[in-house]
């Protein structure tokens, strides 16, 4: 319903206001004319409110969201966020406010495709300069908060649409912002997944008192908010408080049982174990250092415990050290124990890298490697070397895979 201008945005007595807009207008100069995207908007949001902003295309709701998110500044009027006059700040000043006070959730998720869910959630803290250890711990906590504790090491293409949106919500939550701005967060999702996301937002709003401003053109989505503000032609035409908003969790319970989640099924192996994230070069380098340390311990064991002066240390010492370190680091790096395909890939990567380094060392040890190759027959030496390399790589991979499986038991 339409409201008199003096009543728009008027807050109840005694409430703590997070957002205050007074006389906010936004004009765009198109060259031939001026487009008035927002006209004299007065709105006040209290802390802990869940507000839906609705309207058709061109109504001004997206322009309002950009101003609320400090992505744009009003042409006229004032915008205060948590007591700060952010409308008058410079671009850098508004960027600081965004990073400190606002979490964003977008319709398209906006996740980095080649990084894991954990690394995506860490990103805002990285921009803030938070150290690696605390950053990782906070990102893991945020993912567990949205129910993705077992998907931390997955890349976006290994997650369903609903799971990707949960990662985006975790990324918005990781900085502990007082305000969440959600721009059509369910636009790319089916009914069930939309209700799951809305149920999560309602839980965050009720249990953590996070203020949520959700932009949508769907009235059934807006029905889940405690307040619905409608825009038309750049003006706020109604501001309705809903004492009994629709409970998304209850609506979810009314739906028929879900079908098998295809993206999740594709993200699992033949035995039902999920695919893991890509093995990073840093992970392999740390394993190589562990192999060196393990070989050193093995030599010390043979020398001082077995009292045998050995020049060749059995490689099993290094491989055990590699498996132990890889299994221990996996939880912190990927958020879970190494999956079967991760163990297989890591075994091949490590064995191949180790063999290449050993090959360079062997060539460097030969007094005249070129003369030796010519005298023995270059092609014959190459074939022998290739055959031996393949055999050693395969043997090392099999042994290392077995050790990794031993150190990474299923829960």
Question: According to the CATH classification, is domain 5-266 in 3.40.50.300?
Answer: yes
Spatial distance between the Cα atoms of 79 and 70, rounded to a whole number of angstroms: 10
pLDDT tens across 106-126, in order? Answer: 888 889 988 899 999 999 999
Q: Of 107, 26, 35, which is closest to residue 66 (Cα–Cα)?
A: 26
pLDDT tens across 200-224, in order? Answer: 999 999 999 999 999 998 899 999 9
Q: Is the pLDDT of residue 369 over 80?
A: no
Spatial distance between the Cα atoms of 266 and 275, rounded to a whole number of angstroms: 9
pLDDT tens across 265-321, in order? Answer: 344 433 344 555 667 777 778 777 877 787 777 777 777 777 666 665 667 777 777
Q: What is the mean pLDDT of residues 171-180?
A: 94
DSSP 8-class letter at 302: I
Residue 402's pLDDT is: 81
* pTM of the predicted structure, to 2 decimals: 0.64
| CB proximity list for 376: less than 8 A, separation 6 or greater | none
Spatial distance between the Cα atoms of 223 and 411, rounded to a whole number of angstroms: 41
Contact 241, 219 (CB under 8 A): no
Residue 309's pLDDT is: 67
Q: Of 96, 38, 32, which is closest to residue 67 (Cα–Cα)?
A: 38
Please work out, in degrees rounded to the nearest 5, the angle formed at the alpha carbon of residue 55 by the alpha carbons of 52 and 61.
Answer: 75
Residue 210's pLDDT is: 94
Give the C-alpha distances (Å, rounded to integers) separating 333 from 111, 129, 237, 279: 18, 19, 50, 10
Spatial distance between the Cα atoms of 2 and 13, rounded to a whole number of angstroms: 22
**b/e code 390-407 from CB counts within 10 Å (16+ = b):** eeebeebbebbbebbbeb
Residue 239's pLDDT is: 95
DSSP 8-class letter at 108: T
Find how far residue 167's CA is from the centre of its chain.
5
- The domain locations on the chain are 5-266, 281-407
Tally of CB atoms within 10 A around 146: 24
Collapse the DSSP code of 238 into the 3-class scheme (helix H, G, I; strand E, B; otherwise coil) and give the result: strand
Q: 159 versus 353: which is more confidently predicted?
A: 159
Contact 19, 44 (CB under 8 A): yes
Q: Of 35, 128, 21, which is closest to residue 68 (Cα–Cα)?
A: 21
Q: Are strands 102-106 and 84-85 parallel, antiparallel or unpaired?
A: unpaired
Residue 323's pLDDT is: 78
Give residue for tokens 């908060």: 145
Residue 4's pLDDT is: 35
User: 247 pLDDT band (50/70/90 cuts)?
Assistant: very high
């Amino acid at each position: 319903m339409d409201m008199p201008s003096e009543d728009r945005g008027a807050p109840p007595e005694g409430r703590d206001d997070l957002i205050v807009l007074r006389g906010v207008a936004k004009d765009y100069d198109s060259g031939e004319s001026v487009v008035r995207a927002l006209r004299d908007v007065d709105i006040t949001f209290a802390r802990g409110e869940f507000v839906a902003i609705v309207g058709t295309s061109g109504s001004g709701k997206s322009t309002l969201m950009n101003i609320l998110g400090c992505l744009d500044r009003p042409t006229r009027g004032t915008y205060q966020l948590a007591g700060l006059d952010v409308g008058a700040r410079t671009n850098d000043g508004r960027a600081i406010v965004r990073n400190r006070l606002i979490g964003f959730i977008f319709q398209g998720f906006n996740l980095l495709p080649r990084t894991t869910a954990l690394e995506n959630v860490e990103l805002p803290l990285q921009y803030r300069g938070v150290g690696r250890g605390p950053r990782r711990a906070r990102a893991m906590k945020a993912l567990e908060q949205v129910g993705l504790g077992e998907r931390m090491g997955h890349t976006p293409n290994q997650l369903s649409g609903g799971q990707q949106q949960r990662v985006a919500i975790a990324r918005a939550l990781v900085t502990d912002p007082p305000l969440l701005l959600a721009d059509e967060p369910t636009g790319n999702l089916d009914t069930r997944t939309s209700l799951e996301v809305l149920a999560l937002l309602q839980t965050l709003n009720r249990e953590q008192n996070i203020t949520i401003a959700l932009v949508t053109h769907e009235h059934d989505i807006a029905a889940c908010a405690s307040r619905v503000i409608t825009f038309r032609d750049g003006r706020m035409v109604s501001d309705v408080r809903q004492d009994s908003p629709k409970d998304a969790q209850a609506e979810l319970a009314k739906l028929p049982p879900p079908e098998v989640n295809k993206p999740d099924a594709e993200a699992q192996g033949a035995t039902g174990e999920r695919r893991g994230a890509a093995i990073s070069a840093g992970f392999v380098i740390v394993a190589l250092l562990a192999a060196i340390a393990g070989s050193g311990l093995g030599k010390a064991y043979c020398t001082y415990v077995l009292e045998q002066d050995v020049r060749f240390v059995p490689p099993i010492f290094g491989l055990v050290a590699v498996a132990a370190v890889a299994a221990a680091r996996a939880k912190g790096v990927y958020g879970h124990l190494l999956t079967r395909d991760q163990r297989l890939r890591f075994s091949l990567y490590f064995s191949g890298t180790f063999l290449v380094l050993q090959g360079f060392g062997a060539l460097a040890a030969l007094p005249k490697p070129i003369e030796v190759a010519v005298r023995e027959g270059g092609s014959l030496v190459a074939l022998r070397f290739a055959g031996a390399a393949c055999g050693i790589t395969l043997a090392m991979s099999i042994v290392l895979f077995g050790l990794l499986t031993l150190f990474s038991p299923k829960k």
